[in-house]
Each structure stands twice: as structure tokens, then as C-alpha cells.
């Protein structure tokens, strides 16, 4: 993984540890660009994204075009904080690892699995998979600004 630029104050790992959305950029079979906002887990220098292989098209696009881009942004209009990580690399579909699934979902849903939305309670490994994204290049930028209006 080649980090081309990093002007973030937190470490890249600390930034990626935040429960934010990643935007998975792909090319569809007709050549049109597609973006999918998804939850992720940063582990082993990879992004792990839970993928519905039956109900959603982003998983099948990984098979057709593994070249993928990812953007993750943390933005606060009140403070002017804009932190961005952009990655380019390759994605593959990998079997679910339930321990990793648990770590990913706890970031977004909390520790108490009894309160989770039903669709996340028991993922069927026949239907669900991981998108395993391996970044080749990374750009991490602090693009914060001084807010110019009262946002309250």
C-alpha cells in the first residue's frame, strides 16, 4: 500500500477506525460509474465490507471489474472539519468470517446484539459475502475550513 499523501492529524488507522460510511466506486457492465455507501471494517491493511450477493448489484460488479476506488469522509458543518481518505485498489469476494462480521457490525450497531435490526442478526453465509478491498494507493487529506455561517 503506497500512501501518496497524508495530511490527517489522526493516524490513518485511527481515522479508519471511526464508524463512517465508505463509498465504493465501481464500473458497471455498461461502463457507467456506480457508487455504493457501505459500512466497513479496516483490518489487516484491507477494508472488509459485508455484501449481499443476492439482493444487490455491487457484489457482482466486484467479479466483473475488481479495480475499485473507495472514499471515506468525516465532515462536520458546525466545525468545518473535513477529513477524507481516498483509496484505489482491487476488490475480491471472500467468504464470511463470523468473528470479523461481529467486529464490523458492533462498530455500527453497538455491543448488545439483542437490539440489532433483524436483518443483521443472523447473516446467511450462502447469501452474504465479504468484499475484501486491498488498497494499492491511498491519499488522506485534512480539507477542513473555517465555517462561515451559524449552522444551529
What is the per-residue pLDDT across 9-47, written as a single tens digit (0 to 9) for each? 989 999 999 999 999 999 998 999 999 999 999 999 999
Q: What is the pLDDT of residue 151?
A: 60
Nearest to 47 by CA among 71, 75, 28, 83: 71
Residue-wise DSSP of 26-69: EE-TTS-EEEEEE--EEETTEEEEEEETTT-SHHHHHHH--EEE
Answer yes or no: is 125 within a domain: yes
What is the per-residue pLDDT across 113-147, written as a single tens digit (0 to 9) for each? 999 998 898 888 899 999 999 999 999 999 999 98
**Is it the case that residue 150 has pLDDT exceeding 80?**
no
Helices and strands in the chain: count of H runs, count of E runs: 3, 8
Domain limits for position 23: 2-142
Q: How many domains does the structure of the chain reveal? A: 1
CATH classification of the domain holding 120: 2.30.110.10
Answer yes or no: is 152 within a domain: no
Distances (CA, A) of 91 to 1, 2, 21, 116, 142: 14, 16, 17, 28, 26
Q: What is the mean pLDDT of residues 4-9?
A: 95
Answer yes or no: is 151 within a domain: no
Q: How confident is the model at residue 152 (pLDDT cuts 50, 70, 90)?
A: low
What is the per-residue pLDDT across 68-120, written as a single tens digit (0 to 9) for each? 999 999 999 989 999 999 999 999 999 999 999 999 999 999 999 999 998 89
Q: What is the pTM of this model?
A: 0.92
Amino acid at each position: 500500500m503506497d500512501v501518496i499523501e497524508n495530511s490527517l492529524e489522526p493516524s490513518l488507522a485511527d481515522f479508519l477506525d471511526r464508524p463512517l460510511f465508505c463509498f465504493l466506486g465501481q464500473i458497471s457492465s455498461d461502463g457507467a460509474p456506480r457508487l455504493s455507501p457501505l459500512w466497513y471494517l479496516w483490518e489487516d491493511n484491507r477494508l472488509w465490507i459485508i455484501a449481499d450477493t443476492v439482493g444487490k448489484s455491487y457484489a457482482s460488479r466486484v467479479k466483473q471489474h475488481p479495480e475499485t476506488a473507495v472514499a471515506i469522509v468525516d465532515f462536520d458543518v458546525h466545525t468545518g472539519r473535513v477529513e477524507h481518505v481516498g483509496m484505489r485498489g482491487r476488490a475480491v469476494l471472500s467468504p464470511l468470517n463470523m468473528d470479523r462480521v461481529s467486529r464490523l457490525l458492533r462498530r455500527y450497531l453497538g455491543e448488545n446484539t439483542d437490539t440489532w435490526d433483524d436483518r443483521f442478526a443472523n447473516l446467511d453465509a450462502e447469501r452474504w459475502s465479504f468484499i475484501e478491498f486491498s488498497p494499492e494507493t491511498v491519499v488522506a487529506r485534512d480539507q477542513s475550513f473555517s465555517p462561515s455561517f451559524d449552522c444551529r
